Amino acid sequence: MTRFDIITCQPHLLTGPFDHSILKRAQDKGLVEVHLHDLRKYAINKHGQIDDYAFGGGAGMVLMIEPIAKCIRELQAQRSYDAVIYMTPDGQTLNQPMANRLSLLENVIILCGHYKGVDQRVRDMFITHEISIGDYVLSGGELAAAVLADSLIRLIPGVLNDESSALSDSFQDNLLAPPVYSRPADFEGRSVPDILLSGNTPKVEEWRFDQAVKRTKRLRPDLLAENKKSTD
């Protein structure tokens, strides 16, 4: 069982993503638990303060260390955690190999940043992984946390109905996924490739691999270069 404890000052931004479809089913099946923790409950005063001006001046507020430390310590007193992840644009960029590795962890805390980020001492004292979902800046870490959690949860055995389907995703083996088709076999003169209707499974697999390589060459040649590097 994988448990995610997500610390955020905007918990409402995260209630939606985990309440539907695959992520909801994973929780209903007892394969995953997602717990949202509202940072404001750990505020330093009765005004609900969790952020303050940056020492040294400059625009933007900084999430203070005290509420975050209190929340993380409270969680860590209840169970041990394999990772305390901070979502931040200056983290390591998430990719499929990283998602594969992180999906093996059991207890994970995810801290969502906001405003100008968190007091550096939070990162120094508590954070084990700093992760970005891409080279652009979001207004907070919540959507990034949802992306990360989704990419991990779907890899947990039993979450997807057809377990082999995660293995044939794009980026597994550094290849994009091949094209897929469904009924009708002909739509306005555009027909499905004959091989897919042949019932010849080995030939279909060969065709899919060939198409995956062609698509990757055309759209993401950088991925093939990476494959070459790792086998050199």
Binding site members for S-adenosyl-L-methionine: 113, 133-138
146 lies in the site for ligand ADE, by CB under 6 A: no
Contact string 46-85 vs ligand ADE (x = CB under 6 A) = ----------------------------------------
Q: Are 71 and 40 in contact (CB under 8 A)?
A: no
Task: Tell me the one-letter amino acid at 217.
Answer: K
The minimum distance between CB 208 and ligand ADE, in angstroms, equals 32
For 111, half-sphere exposure in the C-beta direction (CA atoms, 13 angstrom radius) is 30
Backbone angles phi, psi at 118, to 5 degrees: -110, 155
87 lies in the site for ligand ADE, by CB under 6 A: yes
88 lies in the site for ligand ADE, by CB under 6 A: yes
144 lies in the site for ligand ADE, by CB under 6 A: yes
2 lies in the site for ligand ADE, by CB under 6 A: no
141 lies in the site for ligand ADE, by CB under 6 A: yes
Backbone angles phi, psi at 190, to 5 degrees: -95, 115
CA gap 176, 227 in Å, rounded: 12
SS3 category, 45: coil
Question: Out of 54, 138, 192, 224, which residue is the one contacting ligand ADE (CB under 6 A)?
Answer: 138
- State which of positions 105-134 bind ligand ADE (CB under 6 A): 113, 132-134
| Strand ranges, E, within 32-170 | 32-38, 51-53, 61-63, 83-93, 107-112, 129-132
